Structure 1
């Protein structure tokens, strides 16, 4: 199993679409056996879900995330735990222990605000980001 966490300075980064790094954990028998920090190689919701798929990630822990990104992750078969916060290592251990605190309703609502700075126009499909 591979678990990725949106990552910044040891913490769960709070905006999936702007993630610059992921910390990826290799898990066997419910224990972390390896981990590495991976550059997001650019940005955008579709590109990020594509990167995670290429890394063979099964599960993502993140903060806020928009509907387009959620859809792209679902299409890639990646299980999502959104609305998490705090330390990345602690979040993974909590997931493995069955005690991860996350908000299944957490989402990125910036697409409904003018000037959200996402790099595209709302409603424009950009590699899995439907603008919603």
Structure 2
């Protein structure tokens, strides 16, 4: 079974036209080529902002390899539309319309003895790392609530601290939805020392595994 596609972060304004077409030809007379929002974002980052692909991949929350595939598909679609005189339609895609930039953000990591805890809901504490311009500038430990964290108010607490990204080991779909609902993006599949995991994300070598923990499901609040 293919791994489910993880959400890609995009920073696109609502004012972007949804269709581009050759002048003077009615849209109904043109064949259309689709360009998804994540493909458009890849072009914006790589060709518009001239970012290296490693940095652009980090901005979108995907691996370097995945970013390269998205960008290649985008360029093929644009070429088909331009060379073939077709309309180019911007469509949805598996995206989260929110940007997390390492220029300044706070990252929470479920930890136990300074290592990434494999279970978000039962970790010992959350270590919050403050990042500014690709550097770690501070860290703060927030004790975890007693019992299952996914049923406590810890998510609201982290959001109140200004956390915009959580780097974790395993986590269920319900917990991911809860975190996303509080404006916190999730990156799963991390292990080892918490600080090293954050540094790996800054280096562009850590991306969401897309794996869902089902060991201790709690319905909509699984972790």
What does 1:16-27 correspond to in 2, within 5 Å? 16-27=120-131
Q: Are the counterparts in 2 of residues 2 and 57 from structure 1 also a CA contact under 8 Å?
A: yes
Equivalent pair of 2:186/2:208 in contact (CA under 8 Å) = no
Contact 2:131 2:137 in 1 (8 A): yes
1:108 corresponds to: 213
Does the Cα contact within 8 Å between 2:125 and 2:142 map onto a contact in 1? yes
CA contact (8 A) 1:26 1:33 kept: yes
State the TM-score, normalizing by the size of structure 1.
0.79
Aligned length: 117
User: Aligned to 2:163, what secondary structure does the other structure show?
Assistant: coil
The higher-RCO structure (CA 8 Å, 6+ apart) is 1
Question: Which residue of the partner structure matches residue 137 of structure 2?
Answer: 33
| Structure with the largest fraction of helix | 2
- SS for the counterpart of 1:110 is coil
The structure 1 segments of at least 4 consecutive aligned residues displaced by more than 2 Å after TM superposition are 41-44
Unaligned runs of 5+ in 1: 113-121
- Show the counterpart of 1:59: 165
Structure 1 residue 12 and structure 2 residue 95: aligned?
Answer: no
In structure 2, relative to structure 1, the CA distance for the partners of 1:76 and 1:100 (3 Å cut) is same
Work out which of the residue numbers 174, 194, 198 in structure 2 matches 1:92: 198
Determine the structure 2 residue equivalent to 1:119: none
**Highest CA radius of gyration, 1 or 2?**
2
Q: CA deviation at 1:110?
A: 2.1
Deviations 1:104-129 (A, max 9, x none): 2x2220245xxxxxxxxx54x6xxx1
The equivalent of 2:65 in structure 1 is none
Residues 1:76 and 2:182 aligned together: yes
Q: TM-score if structure 2 supplies the norm length?
A: 0.48
Shift of 1:51: 2.2
Tell me how far 1:20 sits from its aligned partner.
2.4
Deviation at 1:102, TM superposition (A): 4.7
Q: Report the RMSD for the aligned CA atoms in angstroms.
A: 1.9
Structure 2, unpaired ranges of 5+: 1-104
Report the Cα distance in structure 1 between the residues aligned to 2:151 and 2:158, rounded to whole angstroms: 10
